């Protein structure tokens, strides 16, 4: 990762626990989790819930359809992630 | 992909217009493509087509929400060079995230949209996020974040524009339109110019937000402008 997002004491406790669990189970520093859990005053609760709705496909589309949309967007953006 | 055939996914990624998908899914893909590639172009005809294919407003919104989210995440992931999960890590990661109950999103706001002071129609949660993302006392100045948001939105066709510091223009231009082209040297140059990692994170997120929100604004305008 190009910048240091992992060392951040302002991150809410439950996100620190979640990331520790992800790190333990997969060995990963999961970028999107680091991103949405950056300081509470920066990423508001409402926006976080909104982002999660997009990320998890909790809405009018099935999880598979939402993942297809996600993969489609990443392909259009030539995203390397 | 959890409940779609892998070959179907490949067909969509290769050419979504000819892929054997339902009219409903094709209409969703058309919305996602427009929000991603042509965010400032009128979307009224797309909304008409989507409704004809059986999509209600919630389905149109949700397709756009996924597009917004991944336009944002893609930009951050490429700008910051997120570590990619391996094929072996992915299933374990998906199972783990599924178990995390607090990661759920909660109910949709009703009404789902609001008219912002600048006249744009945005999802309620996105508008709520603007205030903190751009104005909260953080490592970077609100002035820089506001400028980054508007600068990147402009790069994607929005009318608003922002005067970002000269050393940020090249980097934020990439974040807005070709984040996969960001390289280590871009970030190193900004660090050398005095930008801390935290400040860089914040202006990058503000810029990625501005670049990603333009398509949402256009689509919500097409959906709801007549009701304002």
Residues A21-71 pLDDT 10s: 777 777 777 777 777 777 777 777 777 777 776 666 667 888 889 889 989
Find how far residue B98's CA is from the centre of its chain: 23
Task: Confirm or reject contact between B116 and chain A (CB < 8 A).
Answer: no
Predicted structure pTM score:
0.89
Contact call for residues B161 and B146 (beta carbons, < 8 A): no
How would DSSP label each residue in A25-47? Answer: HH----HHHHHHTS-TTTS-HHH
Count of alpha carbons within 13 Å of B43, Cβ hemisphere only? 31
Contact A2 B78 (CB under 8 A): no
Chain B residues with CB under 8 Å of A58 CB are: 104-105
Burial class (CB in 10 A: 0-12, 13-18, 19+), B172: buried
Q: Chain A: residue nearest B179 by CA? A: A79
Contact call for residues B189 and B131 (beta carbons, < 8 A): no
pLDDT in tens, chain B (228 residues): 445 688 888 999 999 999 999 999 999 999 999 999 999 999 999 999 999 999 999 999 999 999 998 999 999 999 999 887 787 777 777 777 777 655 566 677 778 899 999 999 999 888 988 888 999 898 999 999 999 999 999 999 999 999 999 999 999 999 999 999 999 999 999 999 999 999 999 999 999 999 999 999 999 999 998 766
Q: Give the C-alpha separation, B144 to B137, whole Å.
A: 12
Task: Confirm or reject contact between B16 and chain A (CB < 8 A).
Answer: yes
Does the structure's ipTM exceed the value 0.85?
Answer: yes
Beta bridge partners of residue B121, listed in sequence order:
B115
Task: Confirm or reject contact between B125 and chain A (CB < 8 A).
Answer: yes
Helix %, strand %, coil % for chain A, to 5?
55, 0, 45
Q: Give the C-alpha separation, B225 to A35, whole Å.
A: 32
- Asked if omega into B111 is within 30° of 0 (cis), the reply is yes
Write the CA distances from B94 to A23, A25, B85, integer angstroms. Answer: 13, 11, 11
Contact call for residues B67 and A69 (beta carbons, < 8 A): yes
Helices (H), B38-88: 44-52, 57-80
Q: Chain B: residue nearest A67 by CA? A: B1
Chain B residues with CB under 8 Å of A4 CB are: 197
How would DSSP label each residue in B94-115? Answer: HHHHHH-GGG---PPPSS-EEE
Helix (H, G, I), strand (E, B) or coil at B123: strand
Contact B105 A56 (CB under 8 A): yes
Contact call for residues B127 and B116 (beta carbons, < 8 A): yes
Q: Give the C-alpha separation, B215 to B87, whole Å.
A: 31
**pLDDT tens, position by position, B46-94:** 999 999 999 999 999 999 999 998 999 999 999 999 887 787 777 777 7
Q: Give the C-alpha separation, A64 to B146, whole Å.
A: 35
Contact A53 B187 (CB under 8 A): no
**pLDDT tens, position by position, A69-81:** 989 999 999 997 7
Q: Give the pLDDT confidence score for residue A32 in this predicted structure.
A: 76
Contact call for residues B76 and B208 (beta carbons, < 8 A): yes
């Amino acid at each position: 990762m190009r910048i240091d997002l992992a060392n951040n004491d302002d991150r809410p406790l439950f996100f620190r626990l979640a990331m520790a669990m992800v790190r333990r189970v997969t060995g990963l520093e999961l970028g999107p989790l680091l991103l949405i859990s950056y300081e509470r005053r920066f990423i508001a609760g409402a926006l976080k819930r909104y982002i999660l709705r997009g990320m998890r496909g909790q809405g009018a589309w099935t999880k598979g359809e939402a993942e297809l949309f996600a993969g489609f967007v990443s392909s259009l953006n030539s995203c390397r992630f | 992909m959890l409940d779609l055939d892998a070959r179907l996914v490949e067909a969509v990624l290769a050419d979504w217009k000819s892929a054997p998908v339902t009219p409903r899914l094709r209409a969703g893909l058309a919305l996602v493509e427009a929000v991603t590639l042509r965010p400032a172009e009128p979307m009224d005809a797309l909304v008409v087509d989507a409704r004809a294919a059986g999509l209600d407003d919630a389905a149109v919104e949700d397709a756009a929400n996924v597009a917004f989210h991944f336009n944002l995440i893609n930009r951050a992931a490429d700008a910051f060079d997120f570590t990619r999960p391996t094929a072996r890590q992915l299933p374990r990661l998906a199972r783990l995230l599924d178990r995390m109950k607090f990661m759920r999103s909660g109910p949709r706001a009703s009404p789902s949209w609001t008219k912002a002071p600048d006249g744009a129609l945005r999802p309620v949660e996105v508008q709520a996020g603007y205030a903190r993302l751009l104005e909260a006392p953080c490592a970077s100045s609100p002035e820089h974040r506001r400028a980054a948001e508007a600068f990147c939105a402009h790069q994607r066709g929005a009318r608003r524009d922002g005067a970002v510091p000269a050393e940020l223009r090249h980097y934020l231009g990439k974040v807005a339109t070709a984040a996969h082209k960001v390289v280590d040297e871009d970030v190193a140059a900004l660090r050398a110019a005095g930008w801390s990692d935290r400040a860089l994170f914040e202006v990058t997120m503000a810029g990625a937000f501005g670049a990603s929100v333009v398509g949402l604004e256009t689509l919500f305008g097409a959906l709801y402008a007549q009701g304002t």
